[in-house]
Amino acid sequence: MAITGIKGFNDILPGEVEKWQHIEATARRVFELYGLSEIRIPILEKTELFCRSIGDATDIVEKEMYSFVDKGENKVTMRPEGTASVMRAYVEHKMHALDPVARLYYMGPMFRYERPQKGRYRQFHQIGAEITGVAAPTVDAQVLTMLTHFFQELGLTEPSLQINSLGCPCCRPAYREALKKFLLDRIDKLCDDCKRRYDTNPLRALDCKSAGCQEATQGAPSMLDHLCAECGDHFDKTRKYLELVGTPYSINQRMVRGLDYYTRTTFEMVTTMLGSQSAVAAGGRYDGLISSIGGPQIPGIGFAMGVERVALLLAEKDFSRRPDLFIAALGDEAHPEAFRLMSALQRLGLAVEIDYEGKSLKSQMRRADKFNSRFTLIIGGDELARGTAPLKNMDGGSQIDVNLDAASIQAAMTGGA
Ligand code: HAM
């Protein structure tokens, strides 16, 4: 029996991979406009890193991590997200000593043992961005504007930006207590998960999808009404800066986020097009994370998008690549000439195809059709004798005779033949 891949772990095949490359290239281009540099972080980290940063009482740490003990008896975990690793690297390499402001992006696979469905996988890919060292709300607005800019560059009108504030260690505890008090009378309606985390993480009931939790949280107090003066001011200013640069957003007071490190601004880019997997990108501010993993007290903010979900939103768009030229060769003498010209043109930077086996003209033209090349060149005995051959523009239909040397063919193709 043939061996298959593991459930929730996908191959990304040619045909689809071009879309991924486009998403990645767009992210690099846009993020670099905002001064970000790439960082590459390892897939395996000490398990403790994620327990301390994401939080012991989160779904990710409680039940979704790919953790194991390696041959040296070390407890290790395949990263479920990138922020903790990037901050670990930031602290470990003392990047803050030179300048606390680091602007970083990363891309790559993440691993969570979730129930696979459309838009949710066990190995999935994130493109993330993190900015450290700035507490001011200008940077919140900048990060959100960059993320919006990225989706605009992809030509997507969905997803849309929702923002919230989760306050800080100063104001959140009082809000938690107010929410717990509100939920106490309604605790029977909560789902089993939310009942269990009533003490450890009661806020999760606000964005729980179960009907009971939605009913129980109707009319619940809002974090935004409980923000301390500093957090309230931070949120107002973030909104003002977003409005100043025309970045559209709406407020979602129920947005909680599934990771414990967030403070103040949190956000999601949501779509209605992917069923229950509505968050295409998500993030927030994490002013206590760096110190929680042993670094100095330095604030940070960032986001990550799910590349599979972005690719699903781009499903309708065609990213297939077209070769520049297909050379059809008729007969034993023309075939080596086609091969020689292909090689010379490839060295000049053109994408060129031939039929490797030199089959009949009909089958070569079928291949040319399949490749959908921009130009075709047909070489037979007569053309070899003349030293010229017809070069056809497959888009415009025009045809000109070109000399059978690479430079002339290239000139004719770039000259708009
Ligand atoms: P997160 O909300 O856990 O945040 O994940 C961010 C995004 O990754 C989600 O919005 C979703 O698009 C995608 N994603 C998550 N899990 C899956 C999955 N199982 N299958 C497919 N896509 C998935 C974080 O990971 C934070 N580190 C974001 C962040 C960066 N916050 C600050 N900086």
Question: What distance lies between CA 81 and its chain's CA centroid?
Answer: 12
Contact by Cβ (8 Å): 352, 339: no
Cβ–ligand 1 distance for 308 under 6 Å, the answer yes
Q: Give the chain's mean pLDDT.
A: 95
Structure tokens at 158: 């969905």
Mutate which of 36, 126, 144, 259 for ligand 1? The one with the most ligand atoms within 8 Å of its CB, which is 126
Which of the residue ranges 282-286, 387-391, 392-396 would you say has the lowest mean pLDDT? Answer: 392-396
Q: What is the pLDDT of residue 358?
A: 75
Cβ–ligand 1 distance for 266 under 6 Å, the answer no
What distance in angstroms lies between residue 299's CA and the mean position of ligand 1's atoms?
20
Sorted by sequence, the CB contacts under 8 Å of residue 91 that are 6+ apart come out as: 290, 293, 294, 295, 296
Cβ–ligand 1 distance for 121 under 6 Å, the answer yes
Cβ–ligand 1 distance for 281 under 6 Å, the answer yes
Q: What is the pLDDT of residue 415?
A: 78
* Chain segment 91-147, per-residue pLDDT in tens: 999 999 999 999 999 999 999 999 999 999 999 999 999 999 999 999 999 999 999
* Protein residue with its CA nearest to atom 13 in ligand 1: 306
What distance in angstroms lies between residue 165's CA and the mean position of ligand 1's atoms?
18
Distance, in Å, from the CA atom of 190 to the CA atom of 138, rounded to the nearest integer, reads: 38
Locate the ligand 1 atom nearest the alpha carbon of residue 128 and give its number. Answer: 30
Q: What is the pLDDT of residue 417?
A: 45
Mean pLDDT within 9-38: 97
* Protein residue with its CA nearest to atom 15 in ligand 1: 306
Cβ–ligand 1 distance for 324 under 6 Å, the answer no
Mean pLDDT within 28-47: 98
Cβ–ligand 1 distance for 55 under 6 Å, the answer no
Distance, in Å, from the CA atom of 94 to the CA atom of 100, rounded to the nearest integer, reads: 9
Place of tokens 């993030």: 283
What distance in angstroms lies between residue 376's CA and the mean position of ligand 1's atoms?
45
What distance in angstroms lies between residue 327's CA and the mean position of ligand 1's atoms?
46
Contact by Cβ (8 Å): 20, 27: no
What distance in angstroms lies between residue 26's CA and the mean position of ligand 1's atoms?
19
Mutate which of 61, 77, 124 for ligand 1? The one with the most ligand atoms within 8 Å of its CB, which is 124
- Identify the CA nearest to 165 among candidates 213, 221, 226, 219: 226
Maximum separation of any 2 CA atoms in the chain, in Å: 93
Give one word for 263, left, alpha or beta, with left for phi > 0 and alpha for psi -120 to 50: beta
Cβ–ligand 1 distance for 309 under 6 Å, the answer yes
Which of the residue ranges 1-10, 269-278, 347-356 would you say has the lowest mean pLDDT? Answer: 269-278
Locate the ligand 1 atom nearest the alpha carbon of residue 122 and give its number. Answer: 19
Neighbours of 318 (CB within 10 A): 8
Q: What is the pLDDT of residue 274?
A: 87
Cβ–ligand 1 distance for 120 under 6 Å, the answer yes
Contact by Cβ (8 Å): 324, 391: no
Q: How far is the first Cα of the chain from the last one, in angstroms, to the nearest whole number?
A: 53
Q: What is the pLDDT of residue 302?
A: 98
What distance in angstroms lies between residue 353's CA and the mean position of ligand 1's atoms?
40
Helix, strand, coil shares of the chain, percent, nearest 5, are 40, 20, 40
Sorted by sequence, the CB contacts under 8 Å of residue 104 that are 6+ apart come out as: 36, 37, 38, 39, 86, 90, 129, 130, 131
Using pLDDT thresholds of 50, 70 and 90, give the confidence band for residue 276: confident
Q: What is the pLDDT of residue 307?
A: 98
Mean pLDDT within 247-275: 94
> Taking 80 as the threshold, does the pLDDT of residue 168 lie above it?
yes
Which DSSP category does 73 fall into? S
